[in-house]
Amino acid sequence: MTTHTSALIAAGLLALAGALPTKALAEPTSYPLTIDNCGRTVTYAKAPQRAVGLGQNSAEIMLALGLEERMVGTAFWPSKVLDEFAEANAKVKLLSTEFPSFESVLAERPDFVAAALPSLVGPNSKVAKRDDFENLGIATYLSPSTCLDASGAKDVYGSRATLWTSELLYKEIDELSRIFDVADRGQKLIADFKAREAELRAKVSTGERKLKYLFWFSSPTPSADAYLGGKNGASGFIANLLGGANALDTEAEWPTLGWEAIIAADPDVIVIASLDRNRWELDKPEAKIKFLTTDPAVSQMRAVRDKAIVVMDGQAMNPTLRTVYGAEEVAAQLRSLGYLK
């Protein structure tokens, strides 16, 4: 993550922390609590005491709610934990930065597992299915933002027919805060994000040019197809929030395209992800920029020639706690480039 990225995220989270209330704004949870979660009715008998966060978004929401003392493990981190949560996160065992084994999760004797992606607890999960946990008396929760239709999709991520909005994030924060009986903290987090989203929308003049954005997450190699943010995912939300649109016209959550098709999309702005996982060389933003500016064909794209390339925390391209931060980050860079006022 760039220094610029860290500074922007730090400022937002410090403002969030300073807004925490001195008294509760919501009623305590009444158990048993029943929630309809991704088409599944789940009942929580009591507030979890030994929780595991599978996926960075689930873990960071729990950390943002101040639940580190009730967390016994986390896994699957595309990026490093936010600096503001580093001290709290250090108290929680890291099971794996990638997919953990089912056995490693069970070894922590969890009573609750929250997952950011279906690939972590879904029907084709690389870890375990929800039934595998629930048959052992371990309650589960899956991020509402990733409950997608995978039937007919080419990959496990599925497709999204309508644009993702932050209301799904607020739903997730609210439900997790009620599951843990800290609803007051959840409402303050939601209020902060809503205020920041409204401020960002207000700063984008409707008279400005409607930019087309391409969001490049990563690629295994320069010659391989690129993983891109689909038009209705978090990337499309960021483009919409900034008064523009995604350059891609596909409902796939993470479409993969060759560079001929990307060139044909002719974006005004290319947003490249910065990832800390180091799975591929092109996870690094500098490697992406080198490819964009030196490849004979790709370097002739209008956005590349105009130097309309901005860097964003890759986790913000997922529908997560960080998505609004990512929009703020892109907006700041575009203003410095003269694309936004």
118-156: pLDDT as tens digits: 999 988 898 999 999 999 999 999 999 998 866 655 556
Query: Are residues 282 and 275 in contact, defined by beta-carbon separation less than 8 angstroms?
Result: no
Other CB atoms closer than 10 Å to residue 305's CB: what's the count? 10
216: three-class secondary structure by DSSP: strand
- Please, which residues have CB within 8 angstroms of residue 110's CB and are 6 or more apart in sequence? 48, 50, 51, 52, 72, 73, 138
pTM of the model: 0.88
Side by side, the strands of the sheet bearing 71-75 are 94-96, 71-75, 51-54, 112-115, 139-142
pLDDT of residue 98: 94
Per-residue pLDDT of the chain (341 residues; tens, 9 = 90+): 444 444 444 445 444 444 444 344 689 999 999 999 999 999 999 999 999 999 999 999 999 999 999 999 999 999 999 888 999 999 999 999 999 999 999 999 999 999 999 999 988 898 999 999 999 999 999 999 998 866 655 556 788 999 999 999 999 999 999 999 999 999 999 999 999 999 999 988 655 678 999 999 999 999 999 999 999 999 999 999 999 999 999 999 999 999 999 999 999 999 999 999 889 999 999 999 999 999 999 999 999 999 999 999 999 999 999 999 999 999 999 999 998 87
Read off the tokens for 202: 């207000």
Phi first, then psi, for residue 193 (nearest 5°) are -65, -40
Classify each residue of 234-261 as buried b or exposed e, where b means 16 or more C-beta atoms within 10 Å of its C-beta.
bbbbbbbbbbbbbbbeebbbbbbbebee
The angle subtended at Cα 324 by Cα 258 and Cα 143, nearest 5°, is 80
